[in-house]
Structures are given as structure tokens and as C-alpha cells.
Amino acid sequence: MSASNNERLIQTGILTVSDRCFKGQAVDKSGHNLQAMVPNLFKAEITATQCVPDDINKIQEVLLHWCDNMKLDLVLTTGGTGCTPRDVTPEATKVILEREAPGMATAMMIESLKITPLAMISRLICGIRGKTLILNLPGSTNGSKQCMAFVKSAIPHAVDQLNADTEKIDETHRFLRHASCKTYPKKKHEEMTVTVSDKPRQSPYPLISVAEAQAVVLKEADCLQTQILDFEEALGYVLAEEITSADNIPPFPASVKDGYAVLSSDGAGIRKVVGDVPAGFWPDDLIVNSGSCIRINTGAAVPSGADAVVQVEDTELLETSEDGQKELKITILKPPTVGQDIRPPGSDVKQGTVVLSSGSNLGPAELGLLATVGTTKVSVYCKPRIAVLSTGNELVRPDEFLQPGCIRDSNKTSLKSLLQHRGFTVVDAGIAIDNHEDLVKKFKKAFEVADVVVSSGGVSMGERDILKQVLENSFGAKIHFGRVFMKPGKPTTFATLQFKSKKKLVFGLPGNPVSAIVTCNLYVLPVLRKMMGFHRPLNTTIKVKLAHPVTLDLRPEYHCATLKWELENPVPSATSTGKLISSRLLSMTSANCLLILPPRTNSLEMLDKGQQVDAVIIDWI
Ligand SMILES: Nc1nc2c(c(=O)[nH]1)N[C@H]1C(S)=C(S)[C@@H](COP(=O)(O)OP(=O)(O)OC[C@H]3O[C@@H](n4cnc5c(N)ncnc54)[C@H](O)[C@@H]3O)O[C@H]1N2
Ligand code: MOO
Ligand SMILES: [Mg+2]
């Protein structure tokens, strides 16, 4: 959030100073990153970008043009601020400045020093020329990104001041008096909503089995209403009506081969070629009589009189017209049989046949069938609207500066893409901090737009794990379960509630990234499939053979693995993607199945290589 409410876009120029980037020997990562990042930091528009070598005159030339002619509000330079003999960006900047703004350079220095002592050799200069604010930033992508994050909250206000916009300046002062700037630079703990002593020391939620949990979520998932879609937009939907064919397919006797339409009773021997029928042509003036034949293409209508087609390979050319363009006579080498290589009308689909039943999943073949029978509007079940929300004080967006104690939010990306990969449209409901007010605000917004809300984090035993309380107390939710006997995913939570008289389903998935993906596969996807009309919504489960021994956990484990088929063996072999650590996404990369491993007992501590287990398919194979 910026300190100003400035509606005007801050016209910004980004100047990369680097010999190597200028010569094309290196990619201008920092410049490109700033171009993408700055419009997200405050209301800015990138009006100019350029790359120049470490040359004092070249740098000054661009700075002067951007300040004096283009009258930009803000110029950011990246690169050339170190101590090598070629680093001259501060010198080039200093000469053209009318006034220095050392506070911003100092802020960047102080904060950078907390990250690395090497920051002290950077010689950043900040200042003003006319109405343009010029900031030198380091040349490294990380350095320029971090420095921008340190000063971003002051920039809109400085631009307001340069433009003497007194109304906005006053507004900013009021803002600064009443609010602390959340993002600068360390996060403060949010006020605790539950005192530690209030929190039960044992979870009140019974540990239920995965099968029970799946049964509960599916029981609560109702099939959605239907809608009419253009058939080409219906890929991946489930059909809510029966489709019959109004026509015979093919509608006429059609040739199966490229060859000649003949009378079978003529047997083998010489035929006069009296015409030809390409596909798409209606041969109403062509007749095949005894001793004659008509050249015909695959898919073309067989002319009357003919009762067989002889493929061209079973013929010889006897005579052509003088110019060689036309066939006049051929020899049929093998005697044809009645009906040979002719598809009678309705032989593929008979008029009135049901070609698709209600409940069919519309894939490429089904859409092709709709096209074949000319059904261009279809009734399908609606797909659920889904919102994905991350929760946690520690989370920053992947493109944000990583403040001390924070991590980047990966769950939203994983969960959104998992669902999108399966053909669902997903609304990004943002990141909620772990306090009652923000969770209520973000969930409300999510309920406005979605039937199903998938959140991650805040469901275990921490004093800030308050998701269940928020859902119960502020939305009157029923928590159906709050713990499942499985690894990963023990604190998986499922709730239903009424919001503006509509039923909403909430999946409170665990915050650990692997747990969130695994539980989304096992509980969320089946529910979404049931809501959109699938008769068999659970994930496909198959038998697989372990490629190596596996050690069992105390909880039934859904262990990530990759399947491989060997020619000689119909049962695929499963190779673990590594010891399952629920915080470590690397322990599930390239997994396409989850091995269902039984819990460890005294008599069974591990499974041997070659042993068969069930595996849930989680990705295309
Ligand atoms: N005393 C107990 N502590 C924990 C238990 C328990 O039974 N007793 N269960 C553990 C298990 S198992 C899991 S799984 C986690 C689940 O925790 P929460 O769902 O409450 O999630 P958080 O505490 O918010 O976060 C856990 C972990 O995941 C990281 N995280 C959270 N959100 C994201 C995100 N969007 N992207 C990336 N990483 C994320 C977070 O920083 C934490 O490291 O609880 C155990 N504790
Ligand atoms: O159940 Mo948690 O999901 O193991 O890490
Ligand atoms: Mg927690």
C-alpha cells in the first residue's frame, strides 16, 4: 500500500546502465523486473525504458531527455553504482541534479545493510531535477527489488510534493498520522485474537479416516443446476440431457475406398469409366450400368446402379483419352461382392439413436459426435465457482520483497493451478492475515463469488490457527471434520455454511505446501466433480508395484510417486519422489500418483520392492 491516494499514474522511466547488457552479452534482468514490479508498488506507468553503457555522457543524455523533455515524474536507474572504474551512474546523476534527496538513499542503505554488509560499497544517489525524482538503484535484480521495497511508500508522496499537490499532501499526512505503514520493512505481530491459555491443548476434533472424510465431503456436495452452452464451449462439462441423432450417419451410401463404383454382378474384367464422384458431390445424373463404372473417392456418395466399390489397387488402367487426362477403360482384377466397401445410410449412426446419454463427460470424441449430429447447443451441469485463499501472517506474494521472518505464498499458486489444470475457473481470494477481522473480510469476499472456498493454513493447534472459530462464530458454519488420520494432511478441515441463503463449502487445507496439494486432490477435486455432475467423482485408483522398499509411517500415508510402465509388465512400477516432508515441495515434484501406504505396526514396518499397493492417480500420465 502506498502512503498516497494519488489517482494520477506516476510516469516512470527505467534506465539500465550496463556495458554487458548494452552489448547484448547479458540479459537486463533488473530492468525488466523493475518494469514488472513498479506498477504493483504504487500507481505508476512505465513510460520510458532504455539501456545504456557505463558512459557518463550517455547516461546524462537520457536523464536530461527524460527530465526536461518528457517531464517524467520518476526516473529509476539500475546499475553502475559500485566501485569499479566503469561505475559512473552516481557521478552522471549528481551533475544533473538540482537538489539532492539523501533521505531516500540513506533509507536504502540502512535497510540493505541489514541484509548484507556489502551494501556499504554501493554509492546510490537520489535527488530532484525540475519535477522529476531520480533514484539510483543497484544493478542486481535482488538489490534493486529490495531497495524499491524500502522506499516505495515515500515515492507517491514525494511526487505529490514535487507537483505541489497540497490536497494530496495533506491527505498523506493524515494517513501517516493514523496508520503505520504495514509493509515497511518488518512485519509486526498482529494482535492475538485468542490468548494461548484459551486454546485447548488437545484438538477437540476426532481423527477420522480418509474414507470417512471422503464420504462426508461427497454427501455435502450437491449437483449444480444446468445451463445451455454452445457445444464448442462444453469441453470438460457433463451432459445433462440425452442426445439423439436426427439423421442417418452417413446420410447416403458412402464409399469406404478411393476406387470405382461398379455392379458386382459384372464380376472381374473390363469396365468403361463413365464419370467420377468426388466427396461432397451428389451424383443424381450418374448411373452405373452393366459394363460401366464410375471413379469414386472415399466418403463420396455411391451413384445409383452401383452395389460395390472396388479399390484402385485392385484395378488396372487400360485406356485413357488422347491427352492422358481422362480414364476411359479399366480392368477389375478381382470379382467384387455385393455391398463391398460401401457404408449404407445409418450404418455409423441410425436416425433416432441415442448417441450420448445424460451424465456423459464431454471430451473430444463427444464434442465431435455433437458436431456430427448437428447439435450445437447442449444442456450441461454448471461447474462450481471456486475461490482460493491463503492465510498466514508470514505470507508475502511471490513478487513481493521477502521481509525477515516471512515466506512466499506458494499454496495459492499450487492450488489454483491444480484446479485450473482440471478445467475449473478459480478466483484468487488473496492472502488473509491470521486475525479474525481479516479472515472474515476475505472469506466474505470469497463467498460473494464462489460456491466452494479452498483455503490453506490456520487449521492446526497454534493460537493463530483460528480458521474453524472464524467460520463457526462469524458465519455459523458447521465443521464436519477437523482432523483426518493421514499423512500429510492431518488437520484437514471441512465446513459448510449458508451465505445469503446459498450453501457454501469450505475446505480448510493444512498450510504445509505438500499437505495442501495432496488434500486438494483427495477431497476438493472429488467434490467439484460431483457438483458438476460426475457419476464417479472419486479419483482413479489403480494397483502399482513398488520399484523399491518403502518405510511406513505411523499414519496411513499418501506418498508421492511417479509411475512407469514397462512393456513386459502390465502393472506399472512406482518410484517414490522422495521422503515425504509436508513442507518440502521438492518431495513431490514430478509425482503423478499417491501411493496409499498402510500405517506402521509392530509386525509391518516397511513394504518390500515389488509389493503391490493401491495408488491414486493425480496427474495425466
Ligand atoms: N501442536 C501441533 N502442531 C502441529 C500439528 C499438530 O497436530 N499439533 N500438526 C502439524 C501438521 S501435520 C500440519 S500439516 C501443520 C498444519 O498447520 P496449519 O494448517 O495450521 O497451517 P499454518 O500453521 O498456517 O502453516 C503451516 C506451515 O505451512 C506454511 N504455509 C502456510 N501457508 C502457506 C502458503 N500459502 N504457502 C507456503 N507455505 C505456507 C507455514 O509457513 C508453516 O510453515 O501444523 C503442524 N503443527
Ligand atoms: O499432516 Mo501434516 O500435513 O503432515 O504435515
Ligand atoms: Mg498452524
Structure-block grid coordinates of residue 203: 484438538
Percent of all residues in the chain with a pLDDT value above 90, rounded to a whole number? 88
Given a cut of 70, whether residue 170 has pLDDT beyond it is: no
DSSP output for 516-553 = HHHHIIIIIHHHHHHHTT-SS-SPPEEEEEESS-EEPP
Contacts with 106 (C-beta within 8 Å, 6 or more apart), sequence order:
none
457 CA distance to ligand 1 centroid (A)? 6
582 CA distance to ligand 3 centroid (A)? 13
Site to probe by mutation for ligand 2, drawn from 487, 555, 583, 597 as the one with most ligand atoms within 8 Å of Cβ, is 487
What's the chain's average pLDDT?
93
Q: How far apart are CA 514 and CA 551, in angstroms?
A: 19
Given a cut of 80, whether residue 151 has pLDDT beyond it is: yes
Parallel, antiparallel, or unpaired for β 308-311 and 259-262?
antiparallel
Q: What is the pLDDT of residue 218?
A: 98
Neighbouring-strand partners of residue 612: 545
Point out the ligand nearest to the CA of residue 580: 2
Structure-block grid coordinates of residue 259: 476406387
Given a cut of 90, whether residue 403 has pLDDT beyond it is: no
559 CA distance to ligand 2 centroid (A)? 12
Contacts with 276 (C-beta within 8 Å, 6 or more apart), sequence order:
294, 295, 296
126 touches 134 (CB < 8 A): yes
14, 65, 82 from 43: Cα distances, Å: 15, 23, 30
Residue nearest to atom 25 of ligand 1 (CA): 511
- Helix-helix angle 166-178:155-162, to 10 degrees: 150
pTM value?
0.72
Which residues hold their Cβ within 5 A of ligand 3, which is an ion? 460, 462, 465
- Which SS3 state, helix, strand or coil, does residue 71 take? coil
Site to probe by mutation for ligand 2, drawn from 490, 493, 519 as the one with most ligand atoms within 8 Å of Cβ, is 490
DSSP 349: B
What is the band of 496 on the pLDDT scale with cuts at 50, 70, 90? Answer: very high
Sign of the Cα torsion 549, 555, 556, 561 reads negative
The angle formed by the CA atoms of residues 234, 239 and 245, to the nearest 5 degrees, is: 95
Site to probe by mutation for ligand 1, drawn from 414, 460, 485 as the one with most ligand atoms within 8 Å of Cβ, is 460
Point out the ligand nearest to the CA of residue 519: 2
pLDDT tens per residue, range 335-346: 999 999 999 999
pLDDT tens per residue, range 575-602: 999 999 999 999 999 999 999 999 999 9
Residue 358 dihedral angles phi and psi, to the nearest 5°: -60, 140
436 touches 458 (CB < 8 A): no
Site to probe by mutation for ligand 1, drawn from 408, 456, 512 as the one with most ligand atoms within 8 Å of Cβ, is 512
pLDDT tens per residue, range 23-68: 999 999 999 999 999 998 899 999 999 999 999 999 999 999 999 9
Sign of the Cα torsion 401, 34, 182, 191 reads negative
Q: For residues 34, 40, 42 and 45, what is the CA-based torsion angle, rounded to 10 degrees?
A: 60
What is the band of 185 on the pLDDT scale with cuts at 50, 70, 90? Answer: very low
26, 29, 139, 564 from 23: Cα distances, Å: 8, 14, 16, 47
pLDDT tens per residue, range 276-327: 999 999 999 999 999 999 999 999 999 999 999 999 999 999 999 999 999 9
Closest CA to 1 of 153, 185, 147: 153
Q: What is the pLDDT of residue 196?
A: 61
The angle formed by the CA atoms of residues 463, 485 and 412, to the nearest 5 degrees, is: 60
Q: How far apart are CA 588 and CA 582, in angstroms?
A: 9
Write down how long the chain is: 621
Parallel, antiparallel, or unpaired for β 315-320 and 132-137?
unpaired
Contacts with 391 (C-beta within 8 Å, 6 or more apart), sequence order:
431, 432, 433, 434, 439, 442, 455, 456, 457, 458, 467, 511
DSSP 312: G
What long-range pairs does 89-95 form, CB within 8 A, spacing at least 24? 89/17, 89/54, 89/59, 89/125, 89/136, 90/123, 90/124, 90/125, 90/136, 91/56, 92/56, 92/57, 92/59, 92/60, 92/63, 93/59, 93/63, 93/125, 93/127, 93/134, 93/136, 94/125, 94/127, 95/60
Given a cut of 80, whether residue 165 has pLDDT beyond it is: no
512 touches 587 (CB < 8 A): no
Structure-block grid coordinates of residue 359: 451424465
Contacts with 200 (C-beta within 8 Å, 6 or more apart), sequence order:
none
Point out the ligand nearest to the CA of residue 203: 1
Sign of the Cα torsion 35, 38, 44, 49 reads negative
Point out the ligand nearest to the CA of residue 518: 2
576 CA distance to ligand 3 centroid (A)? 27
Closest CA to 229 of 376, 421, 398, 446: 376
Point out the ligand nearest to the CA of residue 510: 1
579 touches 533 (CB < 8 A): no
What is the band of 620 on the pLDDT scale with cuts at 50, 70, 90? Answer: confident
Q: Looking at ligand 1, which atom is closest to the CA of residue 509?
A: 19
- Which SS3 state, helix, strand or coil, does residue 50 take? strand
What is the band of 184 on the pLDDT scale with cuts at 50, 70, 90? Answer: very low
Arithmetic mean of pLDDT, 462-473: 95
Point out the ligand nearest to the CA of residue 457: 1
- Bond from prior residue into 570 cis (ω within 30 degrees of 0): no
Residue nearest to atom 4 of ligand 2 (CA): 488
Q: Looking at ligand 1, which atom is closest to the CA of residue 510?
A: 19
621 CA distance to ligand 1 centroid (A)? 30
Residue nearest to atom 1 of ligand 1 (CA): 461
Point out the ligand nearest to the CA of residue 555: 2
Q: Looking at ligand 1, which atom is closest to the CA of residue 508?
A: 19
Q: Looking at ligand 2, which atom is closest to the CA of residue 490?
A: 1
Q: What is the pLDDT of residue 187?
A: 56
What is the band of 396 on the pLDDT scale with cuts at 50, 70, 90? Answer: very high
Percent of all residues in the chain with a pLDDT value above 70, rounded to a whole number? 94
108 CA distance to ligand 3 centroid (A)? 34
Q: How far apart are CA 122 and CA 197, in angstroms?
A: 49
- In 482-620, where do the E strands start and end? 493-499, 502-509, 541-546, 550-551, 557-566, 569-576, 593-597, 606-607, 612-617
Structure-block grid coordinates of residue 267: 464380376
Given a cut of 80, whether residue 178 has pLDDT beyond it is: no
458 CA distance to ligand 3 centroid (A)? 5
Closest CA to 460 of 423, 508, 522: 508
What is the band of 2 on the pLDDT scale with cuts at 50, 70, 90? Answer: very low
- Which SS3 state, helix, strand or coil, does residue 484 take? strand
> Which residues line ligand 2 at a C-beta cut-off of 6 Å?
487-490, 510, 512, 515, 582
Question: How crowded is residue 71: how many other Cβ atoms within 10 Å of its Cβ?
Answer: 12
pLDDT tens per residue, range 190-248: 555 456 666 778 998 999 999 999 999 999 999 999 999 999 999 999 999 999 999 99
409 CA distance to ligand 3 centroid (A)? 15
Closest CA to 205 of 376, 444, 461, 419: 461
497 CA distance to ligand 3 centroid (A)? 23
DSSP output for 208-254 = B-HHHHHHHHHHHPPPP-EEEEEGGG-TT-BB-S-EE-SS-BSSS-E
> Which residues line ligand 1 at a C-beta cut-off of 6 Å?
390, 392, 394-395, 407, 409-412, 456-462, 465, 488, 490-491, 510-513, 515, 582-583
Q: Looking at ligand 2, which atom is closest to the CA of residue 510?
A: 3
DSSP output for 100-120 = E-HHHHHHHHHHHHHH-GGGG
Arithmetic mean of pLDDT, 124-129: 96
Q: How far apart are CA 86 and CA 129, in angstroms?
A: 24
Contacts with 193 (C-beta within 8 Å, 6 or more apart), sequence order:
435, 436, 464, 466
Q: What is the pLDDT of residue 4?
A: 44
5, 7, 101, 129 from 165: Cα distances, Å: 12, 12, 19, 17
Cα end-to-end distance, the chain, whole Å:
43
